[in-house]
Structure 1
Amino acid sequence: MAEFMDIHHGMKGITAEQLREAHNADLAIEGQENVHFTRAWADPDAGDVFCLSEAPSAEAVQRVHERAGHKADEIHPVPLTI
Structure 2
Amino acid sequence: MTEFIDVHHGMQGITSDQLTEAHRADLAIEGEEGVHFKKAWADPDSGTVYCLSEGPTAEAVQRVHERAGHSADEIHPVPLNA
- Provide the secondary structure at the position in 2 that maps to 1:66: helix
Q: What's the RMSD between the two structures over aligned residues?
A: 0.3
What is the CA–CA distance in structure 1 between the aligned matches of 2:40 and 2:75, rounded to whole Å? 14
Q: Which runs of 5+ in 1 are unaligned?
A: none
Compute the TM-score of the two structures, normalised by the length of structure 2: 0.99
- Provide the secondary structure at the position in 1 that maps to 2:51: strand
Aligned position for 2:74: 74
1:20 shift after superposition: 0.1
What is the CA–CA distance in structure 1 between the aligned matches of 2:3 and 2:46, rounded to whole Å? 24
Amino acid at match of 1:4: F
Amino acid at match of 2:41: W
Residue 61 (str. 1) matches residue 41 (str. 2): no
What is the CA–CA distance in structure 1 between the aligned matches of 2:24 and 2:81, rounded to whole Å? 25
Aligned residues: 82
Q: Which runs of 5+ in 2 are unaligned?
A: none
Compute the TM-score of the two structures, normalised by the length of structure 1: 0.99
Residue 3 (str. 1) matches residue 3 (str. 2): yes
Q: Percent identity?
A: 76
Structure 1 runs (4+) deviating above 6 angstroms are none
